Amino acid sequence: MRMPILRGMKRWGVLLSALLLSSLLLAACGGNSPSILNPSGPVALKESNLFWFILVVATIVFVVVEGLLIYSIVRFRDRPNSPAPTQTHGNTTVEIIWTIVPSVFLFVVLVGTIYTMFGLTTFSSTNSRPLQIRVVGHQWWWEFDYLNEKIVTADELVIPVGTRIEAQLLSQNVIHSFWVPELFGKTDVVPGHNNMSVFQADNVGSYRGQCTEFCGLEHAHMNFYVIVKSQDDYNAWVTSQEQSASTTPTEANALAGQKLFLGSGGCQGCHGIVGVNLKDDQHLNSGADASLLVGPNLTHFGSRRDIAGAILQWDPASCVVVTGSDGKPKIQNPDACGLYQWLKDPQAVKPGNDMVIRTLSDTEIAQLIAYLESLT
């Protein structure tokens, strides 16, 4: 037996669930997720312009086609006693029109795409000198080598505003993909095949980047930040970053931390600090020529804000070292200190990562944090 009312209800149920599900999906797009539609540099601007152009063309096609369809459904619907419509078989004129018109639309989109692709790296810069960077994708963090400065950073790429950035993309493990939605589109980082990414930031600020090619267990936790500074601020940053770390820290906890770093902590097997266990000319971490270090270069760790693929934040104010009732140093509020959590159990924070260490006591962690904080 047919039950039209029940059938109608079922259809509405499906429609409603689809709407609810899609709103649930779209809700995840809110917050402070970076958007390609909020460009902050010439490359991202050209890419978003292409997006809008294709969207306009596609919207015209959609509206015209669906409009004709709805018009035909309503206008030529079956009415009581209406005669059978005229039967046709083939119409050369119509067939030529519906071949040529879509071809013209697709050709327009093709021209727009090719025009954008070839003009992507042509833009004017306020700073005449481009900045050469080598980007190395690790599992799972990003290394940034400044080829003409003696600087290596991790998880944070500091650049001057209005400057052309020429980034060589390298990987020694698996394929990653380098992407900062507000600055430039995705480029794969392929082992043995050196890709380039050219971009520029036109506004001072901080822009989130993300690995966008599945590269293993912690792919989703392979973020980074591009920090854009004014030319003067950038010059000051370079000057401070080019300094070696002090050979011997003055503060007692920091000194104990350095001993741990070099000795029983086992840190220096993977990490380097220029002036301590790295010489000035060994500032590069890895890349094509040197497989010197597994982990990030920590020479100026204290000046960074992001750790562990930017999934934890380093904030000295949240990691205050105090003296406990037993007279030993400890972190005042371990729960608020990202670096404490990382040093306590890096495998719990990011399972499968390269940082496999022995269990450190709270005193040792406090000493290491005191030392790392001194590396500004």
What would the x/- binding string for ligand CUA be over residues 218 to 237, using CB under 6 A?
Answer: -x--x---------------
Is the CB of 151 or the CB of 222 nearer to ligand CUA? 222
213 binds ligand CUA (CB under 6 A): yes
Pick one of 211, 307, 339, 366: the residue that binds ligand CUA (CB under 6 A).
Answer: 211
Is the CB of 12 or the CB of 214 nearer to ligand CUA? 214
Q: What angle do CA 119, 125, 128 make, to 5 degrees?
A: 120
The structure tokens 């071949």 sit at: 99
Residue 343: left (phi > 0), alpha (psi -120 to 50), or beta? alpha
Judge residue 216's burial from the number of C-beta atoms within 10 Å of its C-beta, 0-12 exposed, 13-18 middle, 19 or more buried.
middle
Q: What angle do CA 25, 31, 32 make, to 5 degrees?
A: 125
Assigned token pair, 244: 């070696």
Residue 25 CB, nearest distance to ligand CUA (Å)? 22
Residues in 161-180 at the binding interface with ligand CUA, rule: CB under 6 A: 176
Residue 219 CB, nearest distance to ligand CUA (Å)? 3
Is the CB of 48 or the CB of 171 nearer to ligand CUA? 171
> Taking contact as CB under 6 A, which single stretch among the options 43-51, 106-114, 154-162, 215-223 is the one that binds ligand CUA?
215-223
> Taking contact as CB under 6 A, which single stretch among the options 32-40, 208-216, 314-322, 349-357 is the one that binds ligand CUA?
208-216
Q: Which strand (E) or helix (H) includes residue 150?
A: none
Distance CA 101, CA 97 (A): 6
Residue 138 CB, nearest distance to ligand CUA (Å)? 8
Decide if 200 contacts 44 (C-beta within 8 A).
no
Residue 119 CB, nearest distance to ligand CUA (Å)? 29
What would the x/- binding string for ligand CUA be over residues 260 to 279, using CB under 6 A?
Answer: --------------------
Residues in 316-355 at the binding interface with ligand CUA, rule: CB under 6 A: none
Is the CB of 76 or the CB of 214 nearer to ligand CUA? 214
Is the CB of 219 or the CB of 271 nearer to ligand CUA? 219
Q: Where are the alpha helices (DSSP H) in the chain?
A: 4-27, 42-75, 92-119, 231-241, 252-262, 338-344, 346-349, 362-374
Residue 58 CB, nearest distance to ligand CUA (Å)? 30
Alpha carbon 300 to chain centroid, angstroms: 22
Q: For residue 199, give the nearest of 113, 132, 145 by alpha carbon.
A: 132
Distance CA 68, CA 63 (A): 8
> Taking contact as CB under 6 A, which single stretch among the options 65-73, 97-105, 125-133, 214-222 is the one that binds ligand CUA?
214-222
Interface with ligand CUA (CB under 6 A): 137, 140, 176, 211, 213-215, 219, 222
